Amino acid sequence: MKPLMRIFIPIFTAILLSACSPNSEAEKATKDSKEPTAEVEADFNQEPTSTESNQTNPAMTQAEVIESIRTDLKTNVTKLLPSELPLQNDKYLTATTTSDESHYEVVFYESNEPTAINHETSADGQIIARLHAQKYESKQEAVEQIAFENFSELGGQPIDLGYGITGYQDAGAGSMWTSWNEGRWAIAAHTRTTDGEKGEELAKEATKFLETHTLPIPKPNGFAHIDVYQLDNRIAWQNENIVYMIDEVKDPMIALEIATSIE
């Protein structure tokens, strides 16, 4: 009996070890079948592409758009921009820009959807205003671009605009002007002679507005032309040998509003 036991025990032990040890081939097959599943799960957790991220980003605030414009302008001219622009409800601010060493120009638009500045569709919106800055070779050359006048010395019919300010009315060639000075600024409201009272009303409205809002400080002078018929509103001022101008604004009071937000 002892020889049989010596043969049987090793065989039985081998069978038990074989049953308890892992099947390497089965494990490899199982592992291979699981790896593709892990790859699929990883795809769902990937970050969105840049295009997808841009589509889901919220619209930029006006301050962010203006700061983006400031960064985009490549010029040696001191950059002055409005801090805020008037927008209709549910509209967004965008712009197109051009610049070089001695000038820059920004055209502000309102768009129906958030639009990056200088995007191919930026100019599809409604123009709000244009701001242009030009650096001249000399201060005197810049002075010549500003139509500054002291209206009290030119005569005309005096008219009380309120707040201690006297305007002067002058008519000719079918046009009537109500003009006045505030500090270093010369301001003129234009109308037709057939609508003389409208020019006076606009001048008084502008005078009232400027009692609580400040135009940029010109060095030395500035000129504002505001128009009853919303045809030619221009506001320009000098800073030594640089001339800044706001135009392409339909509403004369909005032109003043934009000018007084310049910083």
Residue with the larger pLDDT of the pair 48 and 189: 189
Sorted by where each begins, the domain ranges of the chain are 53-135, 142-238
Looking at residue 58, its pLDDT comes to: 57
Q: Report percent pLDDT > 90 for the chain.
A: 77
Look up residue 40 and give its two tokens. Answer: 């699929």
pTM score, whole prediction: 0.78
Neighbours of 200 (CB within 10 A): 19
Q: How confident is the model at residue 147 (pLDDT cuts 50, 70, 90)?
A: confident
Q: How confident is the model at residue 201 (pLDDT cuts 50, 70, 90)?
A: very high
Q: Are 136 and 163 in contact (CB under 8 A)?
A: no
List the 234-239 sheet strands across, edge first. Answer: 92-100, 103-111, 126-135, 242-247, 234-239, 222-227, 185-192, 175-182, 165-172, 157-162
Average pLDDT for residues 127-143, to the nearest whole number? 97
Q: CA–CA separation, 18 vs 20, rounded Å?
A: 6
Q: Are 206 and 253 in contact (CB under 8 A)?
A: yes
First to last CA, the chain: 110
Looking at residue 44, its pLDDT comes to: 36
Look at residue 39 and tell me whether its pLDDT is greater than 50.
no
Q: What is the pLDDT of residues 40-89, one digit of tens each?
A: 333 434 433 333 333 334 589 999 999 999 999 999 999 999 999 999 99
Residue with the larger pLDDT of the pair 102 and 45: 102
| Burial zone of 27 (CB within 10 Å; 0-12 exposed, 13-18 middle, 19+ buried) | exposed
Q: What is the pLDDT of residues 1-31, one digit of tens each?
A: 444 334 333 433 343 334 434 444 444 444 4
Looking at residue 34, its pLDDT comes to: 43
Average pLDDT for residues 254-261, to the nearest whole number? 98
Looking at residue 122, its pLDDT comes to: 95
